[in-house]
Structure 1
Amino acid sequence: MNRRSFLTAAATTAAATCATSLTATAANATPAVRTDAESRLLRDWFVATHRSMEAMTTELGLAADKIDVSGSGTPVPSAQTSPTNIGCGLWSTVAAAGLGVISAATMRSRLARTVAAVERLERAHGFWFNWYDAHDGSLLTTWPETGDPVRPFLSSVDNAWLVTGLRIAAHAHPGLRPRIAALLADADWSYYYTPFDPADPVAGPGQLRGGFWPDKPGKGEPTGHHYGALNTEPRMASYLGIADGSLPTDHYWHMMRTLLPGAGQEQEPQGEYVEIDGVRVWEGHYTYRGRKLVPTWGGSMFEALMVPLFVPESEWSPRSWGTTHRRYVRSQIEHGLIEEEYGYWGFSPASIPAGGYREYGVDGIGMQEEGYNSLGVVTPHASFLALPQARAEALSNLRALDRAFGAYDDRYGFRDSVDVTTGRVSDFVLALDQGMITAAIAQHLRPGLLQTPFRTAGFHTRVRPLLGKERFSL
């Protein structure tokens, strides 16, 4: 949909945004201190975004997958939810209390309701299935929107985001800690792990499987792939497992900064082999628009920048993780403003504005040969993820999307995506993308609010030293 005159407003705003952002880029001029006006704006955006999370939360206490906010009435949560959606609901509630949007008592009540619902969900091998009915908690075996069969699946990355939310909830509500500890007691990440086999590193890569279909004997039927790329969102599962001791620390070094030279990938990498903790590591990099960086798999923003909402990678590894995160954001900005001349930027998996869902990204900063493409579809959550690296440009981009396309809704926050080539704005907001926005704003307005569980205990003693040893070839 397009609630404003697209042809005139978009052209004017795109030109102004491009000029402003390129000036800031050339001067490297993002100021270090946010203004009071920016803080008020971000808080207003948080309030509306959190309202959408409330609207997506069912009476059972589970955040549904999405809502259609195009009408004037109260939106109805979708039938389905996932572990990721539930995790987003948990940390959004904690963030809302931390920013004073809801009271501590309301936070405790809502967290307790959600944890009670999670306790009811069917599990296997200590982990949660990929899809449930958000309204009664039953395991989905038929997709609500199409009637197609759903084969229950245990996803490593989706479980990582639910465990992240549960850990944040336990820290915020001490009364829930025994119950959450009981829930997590059987969540052993070695279930997904294929140990490293130096005699056959293809079959034994020292990496996590994408997941299992547990309807087969033993562990179940595994996915054909492992999550091998380091700079992607599944590394949250790796960090959680390393931190709790269920995964060995050398698992971190067996993930790939790029594919090896000569392997089919987006570009031939440069770099060098180094030995760290007794592991021979290919510290490869790509070069995009003259800057060296560690690519993601598909080239999207959330692959690189969702994890550091919680794990302070740039702080613990400023030369390596901090550098590649900055350059990754700059590459996304220049792709949108210079390479494609959209006038806007921020590319990450999101709703297709006309309906459906797909991956969007910048192909040149992803390893996959046929990676994600931008296609003129900008998603606001990508700009929020870039706040630590490019605050001024992120805020400018978000304001421009609202001015030109009416992408912001005072009731429920930013719509999920905008096709800036046609002016079509998505009718939906998604729990995953709204959850990234709430976490990003919370981290910006109150640094560390959601990070304590990932700065202490095993994260401090096992994960932080690994990141401190990291030496990307940048």
Structure 2
Amino acid sequence: MNRRRFLTAATAAAAAAGVTGPSAFADTASRAASDTETLRTWFEATYRSMTAMTTAFGLTADKIDVSGTGTPVPSTQTSPTNIGCGLWSTVAAAGLGVISPSVMHDRLVRTVTAVERLERAHGFWFNWYDAHDGSVLTTWPESGSTVRPFLSTVDNAWLVTGLKIAADADPALRPRIARLLDGADWSYYYTPFDPADPFAGPGQMRGGYWPDKPGKGEPTGHHYGALNTEPRMASYLGIADGSLPTDHYWHMYRTLLPEWGQEQQPGGSYVTIDGVRVWQGHYTYRGRKLVPTWGGSMFEALMVPLFVPEAEWSPNSWGTTHQRYVRSQIEHGLIEEKYGYWGFSPANIPEGGYREYGVDAIGMQEDGYNSLGVVTPHASFLALPQAPEEAIANLRALARDFGAYDDRYGFRDSVNVTTGRVSDFVLALDQGMIAAALAQHLRPGLLQRPFRTGGFQSRVRPTLAKERFSI
């Protein structure tokens, strides 16, 4: 925003608050400057956690324990999602001036070199690797249980996202990354639509495959049917590169069909778009119509628009439901449950382990995610586009009241606000979302460039422009 537009916006904000005159402008400008400084400080600490999680081999590990005073040791395991988070966090750090372009290049080269060495199947990466040497994990480090190597749709989507961002930021790496992505054909996961049997042929993507069986391997028993969930990033990537048909988008569910069991009986109606009969369903929560996610968590709804500008391309549909989703999370925490804090998303359990947290009423799953008093800081960062002042205030309160933030590695992964217990860990996935959200807020569009051109511009954007949620 240039200075003239900033002055106009600041004056309007002060007037809307019922305060005018030079002092009102000074207060608004001072608060904006303070917020920017705070967010930048938070980014720098978050990026320190990402570099602490990145091994000498070049892969960002799953997590680190930051409860001690010494240097934390990265976990053994990593996933394609974690690696993608490491890539885009490094690009964000350079874009915000936290590291130099040459340091960015060196770090991206190290990670891309490591990714080139990873074993793959059908053009995609396995779900778990040893972050220290790149070997495929067949035994879980923490328990010794057997791991059956798996090709995950959504995890591969986040690695491809990170690789595309790296290629955009560093032209010298583009040929190498292009070779890596040549084999990533999203039709591998896709079950074409069969009008004679839409249950068996839903026009959707499988959750993934175990490739140790002949042919394509053994598929998961489910497809990713819910539209407003994080696997839609894979859908967008496939539509953009032409490996998936555009009508795949219309075969995903805004809600489950009215006759199917789900969290609440949906409202809405059937419409026909691009020749596809679409159930344009919605839920109502606290008098507010919105498109639910599967479980009711923040990152299902708001991780994808960190990269794909859904609200800009579909302001009255995606833009509206994102806004209402955030408002629902806020009201759940502050009004419905009276926690005094808000923001619920899958995270480390403060007492140890991992589970999904969310607002059950805005998820389709009948036995959905519950908040349980556990607030996850990354959820507030995801809400920055929709509720910046409330998100920053919530994060400051978590830092002040629970010590959920420290200057070494940023925000801990979760806080049980009913007991005061703070997680000992930071997770690459959640820190990666924080880094991307901060980059988008401090330098809008920094990580979105690869998703505004090519097939995203020619295929995804026109599709989203046709979206008409019944909200």
> TM tier, shorter chain?
over 0.9
Matches within 5 A, 1:81-160: 81-160=78-157
Runs of 4+ aligned structure 1 residues displaced above 6 Å come to 31-34
Pair 1:57 & 2:54 matched: yes
Q: List gaps (5 residues or longer) in structure 2.
A: 1-15, 20-24
The residue identity in structure 2 corresponding to 1:326 is: Q
1:230 has 2:197 as partner: no
Q: Larger relative CO (CA 8 A, sep 6+): 1 or 2?
A: 1
Partner in structure 1 of residue 8 of structure 2: none
Paired position in structure 1 for 2:75: 78
Query: Sequence identity of aligned pairs in percent?
Result: 83
SS for the counterpart of 1:473 is: coil
SS in 2 for 1:165: helix
Any idea what SS the aligned residue of 2:46 has?
helix
For residues 355-402 of structure 1, what are the alpha-carbon distances to aligned partners after superposition, in whole Å with 9 as ceiling and x for unaligned? Answer: 000000000000000000000000000000000000010001000001
- Is 1:180 matched up with 2:173? no
Which among 402, 416, 437 is matched to residue 440 of structure 1? 437
TM-score by length of 2: 0.94
1:290 to 274, 279, 287: 287
Counterpart of 1:427 (choices 417, 424, 428) is 424
1:195 equivalenced with 2:192 (yes/no): yes
Q: Which amino acid aligns with 2:124?
A: F
* Pairing 1:70-469 to 2, within 5 Å after superposition: 70-469=67-466
- Between the aligned partners of 2:257 and 2:354, the Cα distance in structure 1 is 31
SS at match of 1:435: helix
Cα deviation, residue 36, structure 1: 1.1
What is the SS of the residue equivalent to 1:319?
coil
| SS in structure 1 at match of 2:317 | helix
Task: Give CA deviations for 1:22-50 in whole Å, capped at 9, x if unaligned.
Answer: xxxx98x9x99971111100000000000
1:290 Cα deviation (Å)? 0.2
Tell me the residue number matched to 2:11.
Answer: none
Which residue in the other structure is 1:9 paired with? none
Using the TM superposition, give the Cα deviation of residue 409 of structure 1 relative to its aligned residue in structure 2, in angstroms. 1.0
Unaligned regions of 5+ residues in structure 1, if any?
1-25
Aligned residues: 448
Give the TM-score normalised by the residue count of structure 1.
Answer: 0.93
SS in 2 for 1:67: strand
Q: CA deviation at 1:174?
A: 0.4
- Give the aligned partner of residue 66 of structure 2: 69
- Distance in 2, matches of 1:349 and 1:283, equals 27
**Quick one: which amino acid aligns to residue 303 of structure 2?**
M
C-alpha deviations, 1:403-426, integer Å up to 9, x for none? 110000110000000000000000
CA-based RMSD: 1.5
Letter in 2 for 1:190: S
CA-to-partner distance for each residue in 1:427-464, whole Å, 9 max, x for gaps?
00000000000000000000000000000000000000
Rounded Cα–Cα distance in structure 2 between residues aligned with 1:409 and 1:204: 50
Partner SS, residue 316 of structure 2 = helix
Report the secondary structure of 2:205's partner residue.
strand
Q: What secondary structure does 1:119 align onto?
A: helix
Paired with 2:269 and 2:171, the residues of 1 have a C-alpha distance of: 47
Give, in whole Å, the separation in 2 of the partners of 1:90 and 1:186. 20
